Structure 1
Amino acid sequence: MKLTEAKYLEYSINVFKEFFEERESAKMPTYKILWKRNNKLFFADTLKFDEDYYVLKPHIHSDLSTTNNRINVDTPDSFPADIRRVCFDTYLNRPYSHPDNLYKHPYALLKEMINFVNTIEKNIDDPEYRLLNVSYLGTDIKIPFLLVEKDFELEPVSLIKVSKN
């Protein structure tokens, strides 16, 4: 899976979490994606979110100070608004469906979201080629960020529940 697809995968899982927390006024489990590359397993974030689930992108000002700006969700055909719209239309706004059952079963959620992401058109303006909060399984190695090449590929292996809040 290319990094752009991985960003869509991570975001679609977060859209589910946000939807259920708002609808049920309760915290849902948080899942982290366990990735595999070159036979090494690791956790990493492809995106940075704020507390309201907006995707953040770093911005450097002319005085060299930095801030994290929210990515615009007003452009319906580009990331992240495109995935939100398709995710809601496909899973969350359908009468008589129970997508909360899907979210509560990590194996089914990951499998379904991989299939979902593989079927949609991806449109990210200026994607950042980096991973955040990288930690390799079985080691004490933790890296705050890792710059990667444009054609970087990684394989989603599992979803791990990291909290109930």
Structure 2
Amino acid sequence: MKWKWLVGGLVALLLAVLAFNWFSAMGPLRSTMADDPRNAGVSVWAYHRLGILPGELVFDVRGVSPSTSGADVIRVLLQYARKQKGASFDHVTLAYRGEARFRIDGRYFSRLGDEYDYQNPVYTLRTMPENLYTPAGLRAYDSWMGGFLGVTARQMEDLNDFIRDWFLRDEGLR
């Protein structure tokens, strides 16, 4: 008799975790994907780390069509950040098929969402790598100083490296 209560409790707990992830992570992502037809070539999941940690969001690229660019995937991330306005996260993990590749500070993720509607997208793209961390919490890319052209060239190199290291290399795309 006790095992029925235990099984029932576990099922209820599992349903609660699934509902939590659906309403706070995956639901807004599905809405983001549906809002822009350009997002059709990107397959991505969003969930809380371990399914239950509300301060740790995972943005997990599952696949990318051959006609999709790295900028398309980042656009989905930025649109998702806009959709998550008002939510507060300690950090957001950028994963590829369940494997953590990078982390973004939660405040920076919120800033990306807040600035989406008015910030120059080229500025956002070229400065994004310097705001990325490894899964261990170390800076993933340098912050560059110097003349505008030299700094911009280095930032764009870092952006290309980031896209390749996040998902492009494993997708077998260029």
Specify if TM > 0.5. no
TM-score by length of 2: 0.27
Structure with bigger helix share is 2
Which structure is higher in RCO with an 8 Å CA cutoff and minimum separation 6? 1
Larger radius of gyration: 2
TM-score by length of 1: 0.28
